[in-house]
Amino acid sequence: MINVVGAHAGGERNDVITGGVLDVPGHSMFDKMTYLQQNKDEVRKLILQEPRGSVTQCVNLVLPSNHPEADVGFVIMESEYYVPMSGTNTICTVTVLLETDMIPMVEPVTTFTLEAPGGLVRVEARCENGKCLDVKFKNVPCFVFGLDQQVEVAGLGTVKVDVSYGGMIYAIVDAPSLGFALTPDEAADLVTIGEKVKKAAAEQVPAVHPEQPLIHTINQTLFAGPIGLTADGTKTAKNAVIVSPGRLDRSPCGTGTSARLAVMHARQQIAVNEPFIHESVIGSKFIGEIQELSSIQGQPSIVPTITGSAWITGFYQHVLDHSDPFPEGFTLGDTWKKV
């Protein structure tokens, strides 16, 4: 029996496993993620694949952390793979930890530290009357691999991309240049084109994290809308992130926002401590802000914060009958599409 709390941030479903899975070997959370991937991937498959799960969700496994500065750790499981960091998964995990009292809630602000596979994540959660109103987290250092990279994409020709790390590695494409206004009716076309761009960019533009070589290869496409201003003069823009094996991120995407902030700073489009409102295709919003500048192995980087809200949607107890013919679930190509 696996206890799961359902949650979403910005419309993106990121459930949290709170019980029923024991700790796994590994000194760091990255080690534990690697162990799960290589030795115990049936947990991810059972929860996320059909008939229990779907292609449009993720799940987080809360585990003890060995890091002296971390209160708790978590491993992020997506429908096809494990990722070092995720903004919406962080926001959902924090909200679940606080609202189920796994981490004591302190009003008006609860502060604590998570260990993600990608590194430490400092958290400030605004709380009121037992509810986590929003979560502001300090992301891992983010940086640009390259601007204006020329990629040859089948059926599209040459496409210009910026390659950037925000906790995952992104190929960032100017949406209007490919005819997209980032509206809900474009979702299917965004997925088709986005997966083609990601596949081509991953093959043609090598990208390896300078400190953790096991973090490598472009694995997301972000369609970036034009930067505008709100009524009070705050910079804002729409975006759409495509998640393999082929679906649209419902949220504004925390790591995508971080990767875009790194590109914007490299292009001198945004300053330190200047807020940026990132909007999803369905209208949900996150606030990103560059808190400080840094460097990784001589590579200029930024340290951003992302602020967003999550809501608990339900409580589940997943079970596996010994006679179930699908102990690890299954996938079908009608929804689990491959390019």
Active site residues: 86
Query: What does the CA dihedral 172, 174, 180, 185 come to, rounded to 10 degrees?
Result: 30
Taking a C-beta distance cutoff of 8 angstroms, is the pair 197, 154 a contact?
Answer: no
The answer to whether the peptide bond before residue 206 is cis (omega within 30 degrees of 0) is no
- Residue 171 bridge partners (DSSP): 163, 221
DSSP 3-state of 263 = helix
* Residues recorded for the chain: 339
- Residue 232 bridge partners (DSSP): none
Phi, psi dihedral angles at 237 (to 5 degrees): -165, 155
- The candidate with the shortest Cα–Cα distance to 31, out of 44, 43, 19, 40, is 40
Instruction: Retrieve residue 67's tokens.
Output: 């890091």
Taking a C-beta distance cutoff of 8 angstroms, is the pair 195, 244 a contact?
Answer: yes
Helices 254-266, 87-99: axis angle to 10 degrees equals: 130
> CA 242 to CA 281: how far, in whole Å?
11
> CA 110 to CA 212: how far, in whole Å?
30
Taking a C-beta distance cutoff of 8 angstroms, is the pair 29, 36 a contact?
Answer: no
**Count of CA atoms in the C-beta half-sphere (13 A) of 184:** 5
Tally helices (H) and strands (E) across the chain.
5, 19
